[in-house]
Amino acid sequence: MAKSTVQYVCSSCGAKAPQMLGRCPVCGEWGTYEAEYLPDGTGRTASAKRGTAAKPQLLQDIEAQEEQRIDVHNGEFNRVLGGGLVPGSLVLLGGEPGIGKSTLALQVLMQQGDRKTLYASGEESVQQIKLRAERFQGQPKNLFLLAETSLERILDHVRNINPEIVVIDSIQTISTDGLDASIGSLTQVRECAARILQFAKESNIPFIIIGHINKEGALAGPKVLEHIVDTVLQFEGDQHYMYRILRAQKNRFGSTSELGIYEMQQSGLREVTNPSELLLSTAREGMSGISIAAAVEGARPFLIEVQALVSSAAYGTPQRSSTGFDVRRLNMLLAVLEKRVGFKLLQKDVFLNIAGGIKVNDPAIDLAILAAVLSSNMDIALDAETAVAGEVGLAGEIRPVARIEQRIQEAQKLGFKRMIIPAGQHLHHKNGQIELIEVAKVADAFRILIKK
Ligand code: TYD
Ligand code: MG
Ligand showing the shortest atom-to-Cα distance for residue 95: 1
Residue 360 half-sphere exposure, CB side, CA atoms within 13 Å?
A: 30
How far is residue 246's CA from residue 409's CA, in Å, rounded to a whole number? 23
Query: Ligand 1 pocket check: which of 92, 101, 103, 172 to mutate, most ligand atoms within 8 Å of Cβ?
Result: 103
Atom of ligand 1 nearest to the CA of 101: 7
Cα 94 to ligand 2 centroid, rounded to whole Å: 10
Q: How far apart are the first and last CA of the chain?
A: 82
Which of 388, 390, 247, 237 lies closest to 306 in space, CA to CA? Answer: 388
CA 449 to chain centroid? 33
> Cα separations (Å) of 445 from 339, 365, 389, 408, 437?
16, 13, 11, 17, 9
pLDDT of 89 reads 96
* 2 phi, psi to nearest 5 deg: -65, 155
Q: 137: Cβ below 6 Å to ligand 1?
A: no
Amino acid letter at 324?
Answer: G
Query: Which segments of 127-282 are extended strands (E)?
Result: 143-147, 165-169, 207-212, 231-236, 243-251, 259-265, 268-271
How far is residue 327's CA from residue 325's CA, in Å, rounded to a whole number? 6
How far is residue 183's CA from residue 175's CA, in Å, rounded to a whole number? 6
Q: What angle do CA 327, 328, 332 make, to 5 degrees?
A: 115
Cα 121 to ligand 2 centroid, rounded to whole Å: 9
Cα 432 to ligand 1 centroid, rounded to whole Å: 45
**Residue 273: how many CB atoms within 10 A of its CB?**
9
CA 331 to chain centroid? 25
Q: 167: Cβ below 6 Å to ligand 1?
A: no
Q: 97: Cβ below 6 Å to ligand 1?
A: yes
- Beta strand pairing call for 418-422 and 386-388: parallel
pLDDT of 280 reads 74
State the DSSP string of 305-340: EEEEEEEE-SSSSPPEEEESS-HHHHHHHHHHIIII
Ligand showing the shortest atom-to-Cα distance for residue 100: 1
Atom of ligand 1 nearest to the CA of 97: 8
Are the C-beta atoms of residues 177 and 187 closer than 8 Å to each other?
no
Q: Which residues contact 155 (CB under 8 A, 6 or more apart)?
A: 195, 196, 199
Cα 148 to ligand 2 centroid, rounded to whole Å: 14
Characterise 175 by phi-psi region: left (phi > 0), alpha (psi -120 to 50), beta (else).
Answer: beta
Query: What does the pLDDT profile of the chain (452 residues) look like in tens digits?
Result: 445 578 888 877 778 888 888 888 888 888 878 877 765 544 454 444 455 678 888 988 888 777 789 999 999 999 999 999 999 999 999 988 889 999 999 999 999 999 999 999 999 999 999 999 999 988 899 999 999 999 999 999 999 999 999 999 989 999 998 888 888 888 889 899 999 999 999 999 999 999 987 655 555 555 678 889 999 999 988 777 788 889 898 999 988 878 888 999 999 999 988 777 777 766 667 889 999 999 998 778 889 999 999 998 877 788 999 999 999 999 999 999 999 888 888 889 999 999 877 888 899 999 999 999 999 999 999 988 899 999 999 999 999 999 999 899 888 888 889 999 999 887 776 666 889 999 999 999 988 888 64
How far is residue 156's CA from residue 178's CA, in Å, rounded to a whole number? 16
Which of 22, 23, 19, 21 lies closest to 6 in space, CA to CA? Answer: 19
DSSP code of 441?
Answer: B
- Beta strand pairing call for 207-212 and 165-169: parallel
* 392 phi, psi to nearest 5 deg: -105, 130
pLDDT of 430 reads 65
Cα 209 to ligand 2 centroid, rounded to whole Å: 11
Residue 301 half-sphere exposure, CB side, CA atoms within 13 Å?
A: 21
* Burial of 57 per CB tally in 10 Å (0-12, 13-18, 19+): exposed
pLDDT of 39 reads 57
Q: What is the largest distance, in Å, between two alpha-carbon atoms of the chain?
A: 82
Which of 352, 370, 368 lies closest to 294 in space, CA to CA? Answer: 368
Q: 266: Cβ below 6 Å to ligand 1?
A: yes
How far is residue 155's CA from residue 316's CA, in Å, rounded to a whole number? 63
Q: 264: Cβ below 6 Å to ligand 1?
A: yes
Ligand showing the shortest atom-to-Cα distance for residue 93: 1
Helices (H), 204-285: 222-228, 275-279
